[in-house]
Amino acid sequence: MANPDPAEQNALIAQFTAIVGTSSRQAHQFLAANDWELEAAVSNYYAAQEDHTETMPTNQTMSMKRIQTPRIKLNPNLHILHLARVGD
C-alpha cells in the first residue's frame, strides 16, 4: 500500500507501536521503508533487532533469545490486528 492517507498512516503507526513497543517516530520509519505494509515492517523490525543481538555479549544474547516474537494475523477488510502467542 503506497502512500496511505494521514489517518491510515496514524492507525498503522499505532498498530506498529502496540506490537513492538517502539516510538511513533521509529514506527513511521519502518512503515515508510516498507511501503506502509504493517506485516513487512514488523518483520523487518524484528530482523533488525536480531541483527543487533548478534553483536551483544553471550550472556545478553542468551537472555534475548528467550523472548518470543508474536505471530501476526491481519484482516485486510477490517484493518484490525490480531495477535496470537507463539505455541497457542
Domains annotated for the chain, with CATH where assigned, are 6-84 (1.10.8)
Residue that has been written with the C-alpha cell 491510515 in this structure? 8
**Is 73 a residue whose pLDDT tops 50?**
yes
11 three-state secondary structure:
helix
Using a cut of 0.75, tell me whether the model's pTM lies above it. Answer: no
**Is 14 a residue whose pLDDT tops 70?**
yes
- Predicted confidence at residue 62, as pLDDT, reads 47
Phi, psi of 35 (to 5 degrees): 50, 35
Short-list 48, 36, 3, 38, CA closest to 18: 38
d(CA 9, CA 75): 17
Question: Which helix (DSSP H) or strand (DSSP E) does residue 10 occupy?
Answer: helix 6-20
Query: Using one digit for the tens of pLDDT, what is the confidence trace for 18-47?
Result: 999 999 999 999 999 999 999 999 999 999
